[in-house]
Each structure stands twice: as structure tokens, then as C-alpha cells.
Amino acid sequence: MNTDIAVLNSRFGIENQVVFKTISEDFLVVEINNAHATASISLQGAHLMNWALKGGEPVIWMSQEASFKAGKSIRGGIPVCWPWFGGHSTDSSKPAHGFARTALWEVIQTEALKEGATLIAFRLIQNDANHDGWPYSSELEIHFIVGESLRVDLVTRNTGETVITIGDALHTYFSVSDVRNITINGLDGCPYLDKVDGSEQKKHQVGAVKFDQETDRIYLESTEDCVIDDPGLKRRIRISKLNSESTIVWNPWIEKSEQMGDMGQDGYLKMVCVESANAADDVVHLAPGDKHHLWVRYSVE
Ligand code: BG6
């Protein structure tokens, strides 16, 4: 991959709209600024770090204590979980949520779209390190359209000769006024696995999701839009998705945040993760030559 900023800017930069920069030693990001919105994405993990509508509050949460270092996942933004969600099913020495979020990706396309939005696409760079954890032949791309809404398409292609099985998630951290005062609609009636009580037994969501303690749930059979209703910021964030039947709702609350060490002072009050996923039993089997699109649109109402 070419990590030379000047080369990236000359190949993929768009004047006043797409600019590549270094934010700390060897940590490259691309900044997007168009008629509708601003965003930035790091090349490590193809990790969207922020997105805000022009004149609006940030939609995506980024921890004040996030570190931007090679090989370390970023606390906030949209980590890409792939090719498994959570712990590896048979080998606990493999990284949680897969390796895509800490791997380097290459830019493959940028385009100023007619509607005023910006398209930017990345491809995961396969190397020996990630090949150890995933000895299959596959290609992973992510396409962002940054505009009045944020559209993300995570595309897995099976380029090998055997069926592959993947889990994936867009582990999105949303910025909220106070997690204790928001509700999440769209999950009513869905069965869920409650990771906080360690229970294998499925519960069912009744009504909206509210927060007054650590929450870590994998909702199954979840295909409807989720809407984060935030009266404090007078906004609703709508999450619409395709080819995903699970949604993870996560807030670490006080103790877990302290253990994690990169959530920042009271950071847990200012965020909630609503992750569009294929998780738990909701994995995707891909025949040779097939592809899977995990597609999500985020919009503000
Ligand atoms: C969520 C999981 O998706 O991610 C949680 O459900 C986990 O159990 C959280 O704690 C954060 O994971 P990580 O690896 O980024 O600290």
C-alpha cells in the first residue's frame, strides 16, 4: 500500500473535499468535507471516526481517551468487526471482533457525487499476520457515502474454492446527550442474549430499550430500523439496514468503563453502541464466488 500522503492526495484527493493527513506518528486519516457533512476515516481499520451534518452536533461518539496507534483498536467511531463478531468461536487467543479493525486498508476509490455527497471506498490488505487468523481466500471492501445521511456497505467476497462462514458488525458508537434519558425503538418483541447475566436463555424485548445499568445484548431476528430518541439533543437517529438479522446494544456503564481505561471521564454517559450485525447464530455462509453486503444507512431526524 502506498502510505505516502502526497501520493494519496494526488491519486485520491478531491480539492476542498477529500484530504489525506497524518494525525499522529504514521497514523493516516482522510478528512471529508462537502455541502452536507464532515467526516474523517482512518486507514487503519477503515474506521470512521466522526460524522456530523453541517451546523449540527456530532452524530458519532469518539472517546476523549481514544488512542490512535498502530495495532490498537480505536474507542469510538465505527469499528468494523470481521470475520467474526465477539470472541472467536474456538480459539480465545484470536482477537475479539476479528482483525479487520486493526488491519491496514487501502483506498480504492473516491468520488464527488452529483447529489453533493462523497464516496470513498477501501479494501482490506491481506497479509501474513491476518492470514494466520483467517486461512481463507476472501476480499473485504467498505464503501462509505458521506452526505445528508451516512451510508456504509461492507462487502465480503468469497474468492476461494470452499464455503466460508463469517460474522460481521458495524460497531457504531453514537453520541447522545445522556444515555440515561434516551430510548431505542425498533427492537420490541425481538429475542435477545443478555451478555451481562451470562444467560444462554433468550429473553424478549418489551417496548423501547432504556439504560440504567451495564447493557450488553445481542438482539436476534432484528431487521427493522432502530431509532435512538434523544430528547436532550432534540433529535432522533435512524439506523436502517439490509442483510443483518442481529443488533447489538451496548453500554459498559461505570465499572466496566473504568476497567477499559480508554472511555474517558463519564464517557459512558455520552455514548451508546447500536451495532448492525450478523452475530451469534446469525452467521453468513458464502459459497465460492458469492458476496455478502452488510448495508447500513444512518440519518438524523
Ligand atoms: C460489544 C460487545 O459489541 O463490544 C461487548 O457486545 C464488548 O461485550 C464491546 O465489551 C467492546 O468490545 P471491545 O473489544 O471493543 O472492547
Closest ligand 1 atom to Cα of 73: 15
Catalytic residues: 171, 275
- pLDDT tens by residue, 39-57: 999 999 999 999 999 999 9
Q: pTM above 0.85?
A: yes
Greatest Cα pair distance, the chain, in angstroms, is 54
CB atoms within 10 A of CB 140: 25
d(CA 58, CA 224): 24
- 283 CA to middle of ligand 1, Å? 18
Q: Return the pLDDT at 268.
A: 98
Measured in degrees and rounded to the nearest 5, phi and psi for residue 9 equal -65, -35
Q: Residue 101: CB within 6 Å of ligand 1?
A: no
Q: For each of the chain's 301 residues, which pLDDT tens digit applies?
A: 556 899 999 999 999 999 999 998 779 999 999 999 999 999 999 999 999 999 999 999 999 999 999 999 999 999 999 999 999 988 898 999 999 999 999 999 999 999 999 999 999 987 776 777 788 999 999 999 999 999 999 999 999 999 999 999 999 999 999 999 999 999 999 999 999 998 777 899 999 999 999 999 999 999 999 999 999 999 999 999 999 999 999 999 999 999 999 999 999 999 999 999 999 999 999 999 999 999 999 999 9
| pLDDT score, position 72 | 93
Question: Closest by alpha carbon to 271, among 151, 170, 152, 172?
Answer: 172
Q: Which of 42, 38, 30, 296 is nearest to 147 (CA)?
A: 38
Which ligand 1 atom is nearest residue 216's CA? 6
CB-based contact 147:34 (threshold 8 Å): yes
Distance CA 263, CA 96 (A): 18
33 closest CA partner among 11, 8, 46, 50 = 50
Instruction: Identify whether the C-beta of residue 87 lies closer than 8 Å to the C-beta of residue 112.
Output: no
Q: Pick from 75, 80, 171 the residue to mutate for probing ligand 1's pocket: most ligand atoms within 8 Å of its CB.
A: 171
Q: CB-based burial of residue 51 (10 Å sphere; 0-12 exposed, 13-18 middle, 19+ buried)?
A: buried
Sign of the four-CA dihedral 54, 237, 29, 251:
positive
CA distances from 45 to 34, 140, 176 (A): 23, 11, 24
256: nearest Cα among 271, 278, 240: 271
Nearest to 220 by CA among 198, 201, 197, 239: 201
Q: State the Cα–Cα distance between residues 118 and 3, nearest whole angstrom.
A: 21
pLDDT attached to residue 129: 67
